[in-house]
Structure 1
Amino acid sequence: MDDPFVLYLIRHLETAANRERRYVGWSNVPVCTAAGPSGLYPDHLTGSDLLRCRQTAVMLFPGMPYEARQEFREANFGEWEMKTYEDLKENVRYRSWIDDPSAEHPPGGERFADLEARVMHGIDRLKKQKIRSAAIVTHGGPARVLLSELAPERQPFFGWSVPPGGIYMLEWIHRKSWEEGHRCTSLSEVPITGSANM
């Protein structure tokens, strides 16, 4: 019988821009909270190459090697980068994007199909590694893409709640099911360790 596979899907810890409810894509902002070790011990640790994810990985998985990959970056928000809902709410294109991110995209930014393709390319690379568990430290957008594609049941992209520091555990009974791209068998949220303002 195949071994099971476990994937921990983690959104980076909170940034000042998150607190201000800004759209933060490729801007390299630091986290503004701290957390202790997660108590999780995956075989492989990977995630976004942006600073906030690398900082989160160091705190949650001290001493573990981290494979930084551009595939797990947040969406490129183009002209909407670092703007808030209040800044954009009168923008017709923005409202269309909120209603259906697959039908519209930020000016100068990334189309949803491109975000989805690069994130899933990162997953395809991960599937080639003969491991029993992995953790991905990423952002809200990629996390929602992965939950939409891998959770036991499909939900709309914006139907997923992925707060800063949030951890989901996805489990497959058989590793082969993971490698073949099937949805996971079970999904649960993992409480994060205590955090404090930096």
Structure 2
Amino acid sequence: MDDSFVLYVIRHLETAANRERRYVGWSEVPVCTDAGPAGFVPDYLAGSDLLRCRQTAEFLFPAIPYEPLPEFREADFGAWEMKTYDDLKADVRYRSWINDPAVEHPPGGERFACLEDRVLLGIDQLRKQKVRSAAIVTHGGPARILLSHLAPEPRPFFGWSVPPGGLYRLEWSSRRSWEEGNRCTFISEVPITGSAST
């Protein structure tokens, strides 16, 4: 019997702020694009409690209950919230953060280690679900953290490209391997409304 486990990591659909290349953390901004139902159905659906993720989940999985979890929120960007690169490029602290987000953090905002800890706490909660597949609808930062920790081969945080509407499919050979916290055995980037089968 096939006992594999599949996790879909999905970044929310595009917002107007994404188009303007703004840093959007905990601000409640709606998506400005639509999508039809996803080409797959997970057994369990969870993700960020922020509006743009809830809306994305409704578009992609209209018949599946969504569990909103603050653990999968984007970083709190503090004083840099809703700012653009052009707004911040002269700020020495911002330049330092771009070079190494683990060392610097936004003024009044969240440290990378705190973001990482809460996203991993969310994954620990997800591992308690006795299901064969799950989907997480989240944001760019948390998605990169998830991929950095769960992909077959380690890759740095900024080594992952996760555009709005981006979707990765991660598969473990057994649910036990997933529950034990091992890295997945297979990963693929798939179209958000296309087939997600291997």
TM-score, normalising length from structure 2?
Answer: 0.96
Residue-by-residue CA offset, 1:19-50 (whole Å, 9 max, x unaligned): 00000000000000000000211110000000
Corresponding residue of 1:50: 50
Structure 1: distance between partners of 2:114 and 2:79: 17
Which structure: greater strand fraction? 1
Q: SS at the partner of 2:161? A: coil
> 1: CA distance between counterparts of 2:2 and 2:80?
46
Question: What CA distance in whole angstroms lies between the structure 1 residues aligned with 2:94 and 2:28?
Answer: 23
- The answer for unaligned runs of 5 or more in structure 1 is none
Gaps of 5+ in 2: none
**CA deviation vs aligned residue, 1:110-152 (integer Å, no higher than 9, x gap):** 0000000000000000101111100000000000000000001
Q: 2:183 aligns to what?
A: 183
Structure 2 residue aligned with 1:106: 106
Query: Does the alignment pair 1:115 with 2:129?
Result: no
- What amino acid maps onto 1:17 in structure 2? A
Percentage of identical aligned residues = 78
- Counterpart check, 1:163 vs 2:163: yes
TM-score of the superposed pair, with normalisation by structure 1: 0.96
CA distance in 2, matches of 1:157, 1:2: 32
| 8 A Cα contact 1:42 1:135, kept in partner | yes
- Quick one: distance in 2 between partners of 1:174 and 1:168? 18
Q: Distance in 1 between matches of 2:71 and 2:37?
A: 25
Structure 1 stretches of 4+ with a deviation exceeding 6 A read: none
Which residue of the partner structure matches residue 125 of structure 1? 125
What amino acid does structure 2 have at the position aligned with 1:63? A
8 Å CA contact 2:74–2:142 kept in 1: the answer is yes
Aligned AA (1:49): D
Cα pair 2:9 2:136 within 8 Å, conserved: yes
Corresponding residue pairs, total: 194
Rounded Cα–Cα distance in structure 1 between residues aligned with 2:71 and 2:193: 27
